A and B are shown apart, each in its own frame.
Chain A
């Protein structure tokens, strides 16, 4: 009876309990042992649960702490995780920043870039924490979020998948440990049983009375020893097998990478139609070209001077890049590869010409 209050008296010894007085209603843990404190991430002012009920049940109201007039809602009140409210706030901010800046190390070319990125992020967080250039920082944050929406989503998905994996792994490991423990226990029990059996057999043999007691004892000892070594090797073997076939645990897998978006259809199959040996200008200064440009008789029919220039240049340079010897060598090579590929190559070559023709 007399011990109970003593225990209660000892309870406030816990850290953080010394200031166990609600700053709003001034009730203390002494009067209300089940008092819980809640904070709102809006302003991080601490108050007890009954205060929250009293003040905020009828909708949003200003914070009752003097000098803080922020409007708070009841739904957002929660228990604090950390004793230090600064840390509580810091972690909230970090959660928000980490939700946006969730790039992964694999995405960076070098370690230094990754580290620079980390520092950059840390700087942003630091600014938010210390209240330096908050507006600018927020803007940066939003801008980044908008720009990289897709990437953020992807990385978040990867991360959640990773978390699920590790959790599964932990569970599997626990299960394995339990199994191993059980196996060890069973092994021990078996061993003991065997030993007892051996003992009993030996006593039986001795009771029957045939043979010398010493020899019987020695014989039975040998039998027990043999059995135990056999069992041990069997256990070792099964253990090795178990080790060889792990329960599902795949490590070192690269995280899933999103397949590259499908490329636009390219009718030329990757052949460039850009001239190789010359540079086509938009405008060529020439008197009769000028007249062609301005002459309604010519332009009305859809004649394009540019087209003409391109063709003229093409004709002038055509064949310059062709080295017959190489072509022959190439053709022979292709022929060796097989008829199918050779014809395909020929068709490809034809295609090339066709392309040129098209341009012309």
Chain B
């Protein structure tokens, strides 16, 4: 299907388009034209990826700038899906245009997934694959080989050097399978092909971490040009990704390993002093000049800034007292030893980086400045020493990164030392958390560098939270509703059990037998009426375990057994994937199954229960975070002080985005249908925080149901769903062909003219409406929430 958005011709690979897809594309184009950032929420299962790709590819090909697209997604399977989608799109374009375009699209993933080396690829762990690969492909290994020394090299990697560096692969889109196959045929390494071809690609698809994690971004993504279009898909968790990428946890074990690493370094230095002192001398001379010598000077915008390595650091010379390799290693050892003494403390400590630095200086005479250079100095040393087994130095590297971050940022970080694993533990097992509290730090370079950053997901409400937390401004911020020809999903809020008493997973009443029994009856009723699959989400593993054992005692499970097979998610990923597989089999044949899982677990993110795999999703309790965690408390306090986001608001927002994620699992398309049940009294007040498309489908009469009313309503819904429904009924309403689209465009045109005539009066009202809605989104939290308050009191008591 071909149509124009303003002057831009778009080729859409399907004969029909959803109205929300069209709206989404229009807003995307507006963003790209304006050259700003945007946050877009598009209902799940409405073809977000394909509309995004087809618009941006059309944009690239039509305008002379050919802005590159960097598409970041969360999981491997999503990346693979996006690549396949892109491939289909390009094929369609080629068919329509009658010629292959000059176009390259590649995906990047870890070495483990892309390795072809016969022995390396057999390794199980990703870290070992990385290490072995490096030992075969590092620059100095090649030098040694040229000097005639006998070293192992990777043929696949070395073959790349024989090719022209800018066309290692022909034009076209390569999925991971595709590039593996191509690599096998041409005996070239797929991983390095993808990495080296990145500057010559039109579309790059990879994981968030390649852009957000400073250690990886430094190597992979720093040379991307300024006008790239960056897309973060499934970005509802992006703040957590940012925070995790800058947080460091140190344990006694890792410190021990770091010491060992430092000792190894010392030995290597002595060896090198005796054998090849010149190299060390060269390094020394370079460091006198500055980290990146004059020849390599970082030009203003060739590279993306690295939060762990601020710009001013590069321009300065390394402090004199860590210039010499021996001095630096002694320096590291001293620092590690200091951390060890800190670990011996038997009470919880939380302190800011400045106070940590002060104490460090008092005790070990380590100044702030050399600490800041720590990470970079270590990298330089490792390079000079030509170390091959880099994974041995991983803990040391971590310590060095920690040192650099602690010395660089006064605010936005906190050191928390927890000597015991839990409150009841008697054996100390100290962990030093260096937690990043500010999600904006990690993502700031991305926003600074790239002119258009698009953040999109199926569930990203409330939209204004993200710009606030990540510290950017948007040009477009939009949430789309879902156009449906029939009501194909039924959201309900169940607040009372079959005995009419309130149900909640709140702290005080969650283990009361009455509440547990009510939840049990609810599950039983729905297992009776749901055809095929039923997915249940609990707020935590702990609660799930306790409630299951109580159900077992009450005989609820025996009743459920009669209708469905029961499967449980566990923290172990292999067990879980086995459970999932069994669940799928059970859904495909027989009466179906129940999958009991956790709202923040693996299942809730990224696993789809389309069609018969999930007809009902049951969210038992509001999935709040574990508020006792000191890290969370610190973050809440930071958010309140810095961004003026209240603790309650954030907790509630976070709970609801996870709940929405869970609900979105069952509905993966317009021909799909499902029931969404939110079973907790407290959901009633949080309704406004649900994504627009769910909230719209939630009728007022369905917001406070008891179990029996919910059952009746669900039965009625399933009966309507059982009526025959053909493609034709959807046409013109929830799917448009080109004629419908033309009609819509005309209508919009007329509307616009009328608006202009009316002096834009209506527009303003619209804007106001949106604003007040947003306000409600924030204000609509509940102050009667006793257990939330109880939790918050603990936060404040700290």
Q: Does A281 contact B (CB under 8 A)?
A: no
Instruction: Determine whether the beta carbon of A13 is less than 8 Å from that of B358.
Output: no
Residues 178-205 of A, flagged 1 when their CB comes within 8 A of B and 0 if not, give 0011001100100110010000000000
Inter-chain contacts of B318 with A (CB < 8 A): 115
Q: Does A114 contact B (CB under 8 A)?
A: yes
What CA separation (Å) do A26 and B20 show in the bound complex? Answer: 80
Residues 342-367 of B, flagged 1 when their CB comes within 8 A of A and 0 if not, give 00100000001011001000011100
Nearest A-chain residue to B337, judged by Cβ: A87
Instruction: Determine whether the beta carbon of B319 is less than 8 Å from that of A115.
Output: yes
One of A14, A87, A122, A177 near B334 (C-beta < 8 A) = A87
What CA separation (Å) do A107 and B641 show in the bound complex? Answer: 38
Instruction: Determine whether the beta carbon of A118 is less than 8 Å from that of B365.
Output: no
Instruction: Determine whether the beta carbon of A122 is less than 8 Å from that of B796.
Output: no
Known contacts: A13-B427, A195-B783. The answer to whether A91 contacts B363 by CB under 8 A is: yes
Inter-chain contacts of A13 with B (CB < 8 A): 427
Instruction: Determine whether the beta carbon of B355 is less than 8 Å from that of A122.
Output: no
One of A82, A118, A180 near B641 (C-beta < 8 A) = A180
Mark the stretch among B323-331, B396-404, B610-618 that contacts chain A: B323-331
What CA separation (Å) do A129 and B327 show in the bound complex? Answer: 11
Residues 714-743 of B, flagged 1 when their CB comes within 8 A of A and 0 if not, give 000000000000000000000000000000
- Least Cβ–Cβ distance between A10 and chain B, in angstroms: 5
Known contacts: A10-B426, A14-B428, A91-B363. The answer to whether A122 contacts B354 by CB under 8 A is: no
Inter-chain contacts of B428 with A (CB < 8 A): 14
Instruction: Determine whether the beta carbon of A122 is less than 8 Å from that of B324.
Output: yes
Inter-chain contacts of B365 with A (CB < 8 A): 91, 94-95, 98
Instruction: Determine whether the beta carbon of B427 is less than 8 Å from that of A111.
Output: no
- Least Cβ–Cβ distance between A182 and chain B, in angstroms: 9
Inter-chain contacts of A163 with B (CB < 8 A): 358
Instruction: Determine whether the beta carbon of A177 is less than 8 Å from that of B337.
Output: no
Instruction: Determine whether the beta carbon of B330 is less than 8 Å from that of A115.
Output: no
- Least Cβ–Cβ distance between B489 and chain A, in angstroms: 31
- Least Cβ–Cβ distance between A187 and chain B, in angstroms: 9
Instruction: Determine whether the beta carbon of A119 is less than 8 Å from that of B323.
Output: yes
Q: Does A116 contact B (CB under 8 A)?
A: yes
Q: Does A81 contact B (CB under 8 A)?
A: yes
Instruction: Determine whether the beta carbon of B354 is less than 8 Å from that of A170.
Output: yes
- Least Cβ–Cβ distance between B330 and chain A, in angstroms: 7
Inter-chain contacts of A83 with B (CB < 8 A): 337, 340-341
Q: Does B160 contact A (CB under 8 A)?
A: no
Q: Does B484 contact A (CB under 8 A)?
A: no
What CA separation (Å) do A180 and B640 show in the bound complex? Answer: 10
Q: Does A90 contact B (CB under 8 A)?
A: yes
Q: Does B321 contact A (CB under 8 A)?
A: yes
Known contacts: A82-B341, A166-B354. The answer to whether A91 contacts B364 by CB under 8 A is: yes
Q: Does A212 contact B (CB under 8 A)?
A: no
Q: Does A126 contact B (CB under 8 A)?
A: yes
Q: Does A134 contact B (CB under 8 A)?
A: no
Q: Does A252 contact B (CB under 8 A)?
A: no
Instruction: Determine whether the beta carbon of A115 is less than 8 Å from that of B337.
Output: no
What CA separation (Å) do A167 and B358 show in the bound complex? Answer: 9
What CA separation (Å) do A91 and B333 show in the bound complex? Answer: 12
Q: Does B646 contact A (CB under 8 A)?
A: yes
Inter-chain contacts of B341 with A (CB < 8 A): 81-83
What CA separation (Å) do A77 and B417 show in the bound complex? Answer: 30
Nearest A-chain residue to B255, judged by Cβ: A15
Q: Does B85 contact A (CB under 8 A)?
A: no
Inter-chain contacts of A122 with B (CB < 8 A): 320-321, 324, 327
Known contacts: A7-B426, A14-B428, A181-B637. The answer to whether A115 contacts B338 by CB under 8 A is: no
One of A10, A15, A118, A192 near B320 (C-beta < 8 A) = A118
Instruction: Determine whether the beta carbon of A185 is less than 8 Å from that of B796.
Output: yes
Q: Does A84 contact B (CB under 8 A)?
A: yes
Known contacts: A15-B252, A170-B354. The answer to whether A115 contacts B646 by CB under 8 A is: no
Inter-chain contacts of B334 with A (CB < 8 A): 87, 90-91
Inter-chain contacts of B783 with A (CB < 8 A): 188, 191-192, 195
Those of B302-328 within 8 Å (CB) of chain A: 316-321, 323-324, 326-327
13 residue pairs of the A-B complex, CB under 8 angstroms, read A7-B426, A82-B337, A83-B340, A87-B333, A90-B330, A115-B317, A115-B320, A118-B321, A119-B320, A119-B324, A126-B327, A163-B358, A195-B783
- State the 7 A-B residue pairs at the shortest beta-carbon distance, nearest first: A118-B320, A115-B320, A119-B320, A122-B321, A87-B337, A118-B321, A94-B365
- Residue numbers of B with Cβ under 8 A of A are 252, 256, 288, 316-321, 323-324, 326-327, 330, 333-334, 337-338, 340-341, 344, 352, 354-355, 358, 363-365, 426-428, 637, 640-641, 646, 648, 779, 783, 796
With A15-B256, A177-B641 given, name 15 new contacts (CB 8 A).
Answer: A15-B340, A83-B337, A83-B340, A87-B333, A87-B334, A87-B337, A90-B330, A112-B288, A119-B320, A122-B321, A122-B327, A167-B358, A181-B637, A188-B648, A195-B783
- Residue numbers of A with Cβ under 8 A of B are 7, 10, 13-15, 81-84, 87, 90-91, 94-95, 98, 111-112, 114-122, 126, 129, 163, 166-167, 170, 173, 177, 180-181, 184-185, 188, 191-192, 195, 228
